[in-house]
Amino acid sequence: MATVRQKIVIVDDEPDILELIEYSLKKEGYQVFTAANGQEGVALARKILPDLIILDIMMPKMDGIEACRIMRTMPEFKNTFMVFLTARSEEYSEIAGFNVGADDYIAKPIKPRALVSRINAILRRNTQTETIQDSKLEIADLVIDRETFLVYRNGEKVVLAKKEFELLYLLASKPGKVYTREVILRSIWEDSVVVTNRTIDVHIRKIREKLGDKYVSTVKGVGYKFDA
């Protein structure tokens, strides 16, 4: 069940979809607000300041991609989860969504129980699967200690190079969130050196060699995420 009545905004131009999702999430205990297009959605979200926004991609007046892009430029939505909901199965639409800052992607037709489960998991990402104490992340069988730049797997020390550690820490700080290559480059290497996508791939490969393949997964055409 939702805690402290978390707020969700749903933006979709199909009334039946809005009604179905609204009913399912209200039943779970969330506060739910709806809008019929991207323009209305942005205005509503600025008023409500929700914990999570569900956006259809194909909508009149302003599509979900543009609405998400606009909101990601606003400081008040820096930590807001944004999820795309769409019937489109083309890979490019999913890539476009992640590139403008989406946290997840749910395909139609809607299966209420599966949808609620996914939303619950997304909203728990910052509290359930990670514990941050004294610059440490404790996730599954890993302890990632930012003070010592050491990683412990099942209690055994694993030494990573500095950039490998920083990359792992970034991904593990929000399990399940897809980080695009552009975000990774800005976060880890900033503008101090010239690096390419190949540089990221090499560092990911080294992390997998040292920790195993189960922690970091590739999202084709987009980037990487940490699997708790």
Residue-wise DSSP of 69-131: HHHHTSGGGTT-EEEEEES---HHHHHHHHHTT-SEEEESSP-HHHHHHHHHHHHHTTTTS-E
Q: How far is CA 36 from the centre of its chain?
A: 23
Mean pLDDT rounded to a whole number for the chain: 84
Query: Is 165 within 8 Å of 151 (Cβ atoms)?
Result: yes
Could you check whether the bond before residue 50 is cis, i.e. omega within 30 degrees of 0?
A: no
Residue-range domain boundaries for the chain:
7-124, 131-226
The whole-angstrom separation of Cα 46 and Cα 53 is 11
Predicted confidence (pLDDT) at residue 125 exceeds the cutoff of 70: no
Fold adopted by 7-124:
Rossmann fold (3.40.50)
More confident residue, 94 or 90: 94
pLDDT for position 162: 84
CATH number, domain 131-226, options 3.30.750.24, 1.10.10.10, 1.10.8.10, 1.10.3720.10 = 1.10.10.10
Which of 186 and 18 is assigned the larger pLDDT?
Answer: 18
In contact, 105 and 84? CB cutoff 8 Å: yes
Q: Say what the pLDDT of residue 128 is.
A: 44
- Dist. CA 60–CA 67, nearest whole Å: 11
Using CA atoms, how far residue 72 sits from 46, 146, 190, 206, in Å, is 12, 28, 19, 32
pLDDT per position as a tens digit, 163-201 = 899 899 999 988 888 898 888 887 887 654 556 778 888
Instruction: Assign 4 a pLDDT band (cuts: 50, 70, 90).
Output: low
> Which range has the top average pLDDT, 49-53, 89-93, 130-134?
49-53
Share of the chain above pLDDT 70, in %: 87
Cα angle 131, 199, 180 (rounded to 5 degrees) comes to 55
SS3 39: helix
Task: Quote the pLDDT of residue 16.
Answer: 93
Local confidence band at 129 (pLDDT 50, 70, 90 cut-offs): very low
Confidence category of residue 70, pLDDT binned at 50, 70, 90: very high
